[in-house]
Structure 1
Amino acid sequence: MGPLPRTVELFYDVLSPYSWLGFEILCRYKNIWNVHLQLRPSLIAGIMKSSGSLSAMRFLTAVNMEHPEMLEKVSRELWMRVWSRDEDITEPGSILAAAEKAGMSTEGARALLEKISTPQVKNQLKETTEAACKYGAFGLPVTVAHLDGQTQMLFGSDRMELLAYLLGEKWMGPVPSAVSARL
């Protein structure tokens, strides 16, 4: 039996391709490293003061608040739209299309989309973004590892080997299943 689960937070914005890299790698490693991965949708504009993803990030915040089990899939689909297929993620119809492709019902996605302008969702996104700033964020992605009562903040998607070291785990590259398939 491995070590008890440790908590790792990933602050991200789907307008950041570097966040996407960190997101995919941490999603692949969360079970291998036995970490509790907390996905934390953040507004890069709140950190860097310029972004067009406000609606998408509010939508992800609403997903996280009401259907956290869908957050990984919906986040991935938004990244696929904007960075892989050069599709919009700012218009309501685009956000709905991403949510539906990720497996959300049309009704459920519409209900969440209606909540993106509520004080609860706005405040939650603001609080999460402020939490990233308190850790020292100056861009995204930011990964925060909580280890032995201490926090370690890592900036960038190219710090996963360092995260593995801090966790006392083995780094097997960005696609760990490819390494284990060769063994």
Structure 2
Amino acid sequence: MASLPRKLELFYDVLSPYSWLGFEVLCRYQHIWNIDLHLCPSLIGGIMKNSGSLTAMRFLTAVKQENPEMLERVSRELWMRVWSRDEDITEPQSILAAAEKAGLSKEQAKSLLEKCSTDKVKSSLRETTEAACNYGAFGLPITVVHVDNKSHMLFGSDRMELLAHLLGEQWQGPVPSPVKGKL
């Protein structure tokens, strides 16, 4: 009988290229390592007190609340805009363009953008950021793995070998065999 997936939380901000590295690796490994990956958009500014990603992270929080199946794609597209194409992610039209490119309709994207100013979205992002701080975050990304009734916080995207060890799994590099050639 297969074991149940182990819970793993990834706290990230699309303003952090290191968060992007950790995000991509963990998305690739989630089925290989049998982990239940919880994506947790967090505000690095709430942790480091200086950031330009507030609207983008509120938008991702709204995506998580309303269209959680799109969170991975929209997060990736925001990273592509800011870190691969040197495009803006702070202006509403930039966020809408990223959302549409990720597969959301114009109507869905506009609705989600409107929700960015609601108390529900604001408090959810604040709670997620506080949760990261409570785990001991001093930057992003942090990965929190829950095994054997214990939580282990790992800072940075360069801790995948240690994560594999904690999970009792094998590290196969950033592009594991079953997904080579696919992004």
Instruction: Please give the range of the TM-score, normalised by the shorter of the 2 chains.
Output: over 0.9
Q: Which residue of 2 aligns with 1:171?
A: 171
Q: Structure 1 CA distance, aligned partners of 2:149 and 2:132?
A: 18
User: Given that residues 11 and 143 in structure 1 are in contact (C-alpha distance below 8 angstroms), is that contact kept between their aligned partners in structure 2?
Assistant: yes
Once the two structures are TM-superposed, the CA of residue 179 in structure 1 deviates from its matched residue by 8.6
What's the RMSD between the two structures over aligned residues? 1.3
Q: Which residue of 1 aligns with 2:22?
A: 22
User: Given that residues 28 and 179 in structure 2 are in contact (C-alpha distance below 8 angstroms), is that contact kept between their aligned partners in structure 1?
Assistant: no
Superposed structure 1 runs of 4+ greater than 4 Å apart: 178-181
Q: Which residue of 2 aligns with 1:97?
A: 97
Q: Which residue of 2 aligns with 1:122?
A: 122
User: Given that residues 172 and 179 in structure 1 are in contact (C-alpha distance below 8 angstroms), is that contact kept between their aligned partners in structure 2?
Assistant: no
Q: Structure 2 CA distance, aligned partners of 1:45 and 1:70?
A: 24
Once the two structures are TM-superposed, the CA of residue 148 in structure 1 deviates from its matched residue by 1.5
Amino acid at match of 2:80: M
SS of 1:3's equivalent?
Answer: coil
**Counterparts of 1:28-47 in structure 2 under 5 Å?**
28-47=28-47
Q: Which residue of 1 aligns with 2:152?
A: 152
Once the two structures are TM-superposed, the CA of residue 3 in structure 1 deviates from its matched residue by 2.7
Once the two structures are TM-superposed, the CA of residue 4 in structure 1 deviates from its matched residue by 1.6
Q: Structure 2 CA distance, aligned partners of 1:158 and 1:164?
A: 12
SS of 1:172's equivalent?
Answer: coil
Q: Which residue of 1 aligns with 2:52?
A: 52
Amino acid at match of 1:112: L
Q: Structure 2 CA distance, aligned partners of 1:2 and 1:118?
A: 41
Unaligned runs of 5+ in 1: none
Q: Structure 2 CA distance, aligned partners of 1:57 and 1:38?
A: 16
Identical-pair percentage: 76
C-alpha distance after superposition, 1:55-111 (max 9, x if no partner): 000000000011100000000000000000000000000000000000001000000
**Pair 46,180 (structure 1): closer, same or farther in 2 beyond 3 Å:** closer
C-alpha distance after superposition, 1:138-180 (max 9, x if no partner): 0000000011110000000000110000000000000003797
SS of 2:33's equivalent?
Answer: coil
How does the TM-score come out when normalised to structure 2? 0.96
Q: Structure 2 CA distance, aligned partners of 1:64 and 1:150?
A: 26
How does the TM-score come out when normalised to structure 1? 0.96
Q: Structure 1 CA distance, aligned partners of 2:178 and 2:172?
A: 9
